[in-house]
């Protein structure tokens, strides 16, 4: 699903709100927006709902409009299925109207799903709802149906530029009560169980109502939504990690053991020998899988390119430079004495300090990272390691997770000596599994100690969601403050620390 990669970015740009796209294995006819802050758009795994960019963008823009202009979910009360369906159409029109006030290009994005071949003809209730959607989306469109004209007059104030007359939930409810009666009087049948919002880009509107009250939307597959809702903020990427999550330490008995202090911000002192780190190779399971192209951002590429440029050397004769090139000066003097043309490239550039660096990539393997993000971080780490070693730097990749202060795993995924292309490295990287917690500070201390023993300038790149927590720490600030302290210690030792999170480097 190639569209998925840029759609969250698109959604964020529209009204500044985050939207996760979650594929659910269910027979959905329309997308489902989660009730939890409307922050997740559940779409079926089937590719059929994402046939092209136009539908994908239209769907995300519509969901983002709900996010931006939503009323809180309300009780269905005494509203009947006909009125619920009507309410959905009016609410869709309301949020789309508000959205188009800011982004007028959206009308051209949505309108094709209501007009032309996509338009539903007829005078049945569902056809009228589809025609109503068209009329409200494009007030300049003329539909001669008397009831549609009545709704349009109720919905918009009469003006050259139509503005919303129905803005509050109460006003909308009152309107659908009246309009529902009209439908009743027209004796139009309505099969609520088989009803589906006509325009393919619109969601099923189940988020408009408090859950558990009505059979119309009760069949929507909210299992995955509940899973999302139960997760802590920032853990939405963890979807799908259940089967691959590990629940206890897997470190082999041959692991090396280290003790490290931890910073307690409340007392302003270190707790000596507080944490135990076990470092070693993970038992290799399974076989290597093909790794996709890594998610490389501009910033990541710039950083790698910058490192490459540091390696450039020039000791040639130059037109400009820092010091005279002795041989060039002699040649120039000879040329002048013998009446020949002088070669004015008489300088040379001073060489820079040896920039060879040891770079340690530290991948957060904790459960909060989630399997999907972990895979992306693994790919990014491999890509980075490959580029860095090509540039002449030494590079190692470790993973880490914790099970309380007494057991912090540091898993060697690629040692300094191993080649990135080595099958065993690729096997380890393709078998990354999330589990345990994140104790960043002690991992940085361990990494700093190991890097201090290397002669070259050293840097650490932490690939993590940045959420420091562990099962035996209940003060949310404790591990974060320890991490900050550990960063400070590393910098005092001259070690660079950078943080990479799903495409962002800082």
The residue ranges that bind other proteins (CB under 8 A) are 5-10, 12-14, 16, 53, 57, 61, 102-106, 108-109, 295, 297-299, 302-303, 306, 309-310, 320-324, 329, 332, 336, 342, 344, 346-347, 349-350, 352, 457, 459, 496-498, 503-505
Q: Give the CA count within 13 Å in the CB-facing half-sphere of 260.
A: 28
Specify whether the CB–CB gap between 281 and 412 falls below 8 A.
Answer: yes
Minimal distance in Å, beta carbon 141 to other proteins?
Answer: 17
SS3 296: coil
* Closer to other proteins by Cβ: residue 324 or 421: 324
Q: What is the DSSP annotation of 192-253?
A: GGG---SSTTS---GGGB-TTS-HHHHTS--HHHHHHHHSPTT-GGGTT-TTT-B-S----T
Instruction: Provide the token pair at 384.
Output: 């980075």
DSSP letter at 435?
Answer: B
How far is residue 170's CA from residue 358's CA, in Å, rounded to a whole number? 64
Question: Which residue in this structure is represented by tokens 């309108």?
Answer: 111
Minimal distance in Å, beta carbon 292 to other proteins?
Answer: 13
Minimal distance in Å, beta carbon 199 to other proteins?
Answer: 17
* Closer to other proteins by Cβ: residue 379 or 402: 379
Minimal distance in Å, beta carbon 26 to other proteins?
Answer: 27
* Closer to other proteins by Cβ: residue 81 or 503: 503
Beta-carbon contacts of residue 132 (< 8 Å; ≥ 6 apart): 89, 148, 151
Closest among 361, 142, 375, 399 to 238, alpha carbons compared: 375
Minimal distance in Å, beta carbon 503 to other proteins?
Answer: 5
Pick left, alpha or beta for residue 470 (phi over 0 → left; psi -120 to 50 → alpha; otherwise beta). beta
Q: Cα-Cα-Cα-Cα dihedral of 245, 246, 247, 250, to 10°?
A: -170
Minimal distance in Å, beta carbon 170 to other proteins?
Answer: 30
* Closer to other proteins by Cβ: residue 404 or 496: 496
Instruction: Provide the token pair at 483.
Output: 């991490």
Minimal distance in Å, beta carbon 162 to other proteins?
Answer: 17
How far is residue 492's CA from residue 495's CA, in Å, rounded to a whole number? 7
Minimal distance in Å, beta carbon 174 to other proteins?
Answer: 32
Minimal distance in Å, beta carbon 439 to other proteins?
Answer: 22
Minimal distance in Å, beta carbon 462 to other proteins?
Answer: 11
* Closer to other proteins by Cβ: residue 434 or 497: 497
Minimal distance in Å, beta carbon 497 to other proteins?
Answer: 6
How far is residue 359's CA from residue 458's CA, in Å, rounded to a whole number? 6
Instruction: Provide the token pair at 383.
Output: 């890509």
Taking residue 363's Cβ as centre, other Cβ atoms within 10 Å add up to: 25
Minimal distance in Å, beta carbon 88 to other proteins?
Answer: 23
Specify whether the CB–CB gap between 204 and 31 falls below 8 A.
Answer: yes
Closest among 235, 250, 466 to 372, alpha carbons compared: 235
* Closer to other proteins by Cβ: residue 150 or 336: 336
DSSP letter at 491?
Answer: H
* Closer to other proteins by Cβ: residue 182 or 318: 318
Minimal distance in Å, beta carbon 32 to other proteins?
Answer: 22
* Closer to other proteins by Cβ: residue 30 or 59: 59
Task: Mark out the alpha helices in 76-116 (DSSP H runs).
Answer: 81-102, 106-110
Task: State how far Cα 422 lies from the chain centre.
Answer: 30
Taking residue 371's Cβ as centre, other Cβ atoms within 10 Å add up to: 21
Closest among 31, 36, 30 to 21, alpha carbons compared: 31
* Closer to other proteins by Cβ: residue 117 or 320: 320
How far is residue 476's CA from residue 468's CA, in Å, rounded to a whole number? 8
* Closer to other proteins by Cβ: residue 35 or 395: 395
Please report which helix (H) or strand (E) contains residue 274, including its range. strand 269-281
* Closer to other proteins by Cβ: residue 274 or 303: 303
* Closer to other proteins by Cβ: residue 239 or 380: 380
Question: Which residue in this structure is represented by tokens 């959607």?
Answer: 133
For 259, list phi and psi in degrees, rounded to 5: -115, 140
* Closer to other proteins by Cβ: residue 175 or 495: 495
């Amino acid at each position: 699903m190639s569209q998925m990669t840029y759609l969250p970015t698109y959604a964020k740009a529209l009204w500044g709100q985050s939207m996760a796209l979650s594929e659910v294995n269910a027979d959905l006819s329309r997308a489902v927006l989660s009730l939890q802050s409307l922050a997740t758009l559940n779409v079926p795994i089937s590719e059929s709902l994402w046939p092209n960019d136009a539908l994908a963008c239209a769907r995300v823009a519509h969901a983002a409009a709900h996010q931006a202009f939503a009323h809180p979910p309300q009780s269905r009360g005494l509203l009947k299925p006909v009125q619920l369906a009507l309410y959905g159409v009016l609410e869709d029109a309301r949020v789309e109207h508000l959205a188009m006030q800011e982004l007028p290009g959206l009308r051209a994005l949505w309108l094709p799903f209501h007009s032309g071949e996509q338009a539903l003809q007829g005078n049945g209730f569902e056809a009228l709802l589809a025609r109503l959607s068209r009329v409200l989306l494009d007030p300049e469109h003329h539909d001669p149906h008397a009831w549609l004209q009545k709704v349009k007059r109720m919905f918009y104030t009469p003006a050259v530029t139509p503005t919303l007359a129905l803005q509050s939930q109460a006003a909308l409810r009152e309107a659908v009560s009246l309009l529902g009666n009209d439908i009743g009087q027209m004796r139009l049948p309505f099969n609520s169980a088989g009803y589906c919002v006509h325009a393919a880009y619109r969601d099923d509107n189940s988020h408009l109502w408090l859950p558990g009250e009505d059979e119309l939307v009760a069949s929507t597959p909210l299992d995955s939504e509940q899973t999302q809702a139960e997760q802590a903020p920032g853990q939405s990427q963890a979807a799908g990690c259940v089967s691959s999550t590990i629940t206890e330490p897997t470190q082999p008995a041959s692991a090396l053991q280290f003790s490290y202090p931890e910073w307690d911000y409340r007392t302003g002192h270190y707790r000596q020998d507080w944490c135990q780190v076990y470092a070693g190779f993970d038992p290799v399971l399974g076989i290597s899988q093909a790794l996709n192209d890594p998610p490389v951002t501009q910033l990541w590429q710039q950083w790698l390119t910058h490192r490459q440029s540091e390696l450039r050397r020039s000791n040639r004769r130059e037109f400009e430079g820092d010091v005279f090139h002795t041989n060039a000066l002699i040649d120039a003097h000879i040329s002048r004495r013998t009446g020949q043309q002088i070669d004015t490239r008489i300088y040379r550039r001073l060489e820079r300090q040896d920039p060879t660096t040891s770079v340690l990539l530290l991948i957060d393997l904790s459960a909060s990272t989630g399997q999907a993000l972990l895979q992306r971080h693994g790919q990014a780490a491999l890509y980075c390691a490959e580029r860095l070693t090509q540039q002449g730097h030494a590079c190692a990749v470790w993973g880490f997770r914790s099970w309380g202060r007494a057991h912090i795993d540091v898993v060697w995924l690629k040692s300094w000596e191993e080649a990135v292309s080595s099958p065993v490295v690729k096997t380890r990287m393709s078998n990354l599994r999330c589990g345990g917690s994140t104790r960043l500070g002690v991992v940085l201390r361990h990494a700093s100690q190991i890097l201090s023993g290397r002669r070259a300038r050293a840097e650490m790149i932490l690939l993590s969601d940045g959420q420091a927590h562990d099962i035996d720490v209940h003060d949310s600030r404790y591990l974060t403050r320890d991490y900050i302290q550990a960063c400070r210690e590393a910098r005092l030792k001259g070690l660079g620390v950078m943080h990479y999170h799903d495409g962002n480097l800082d």
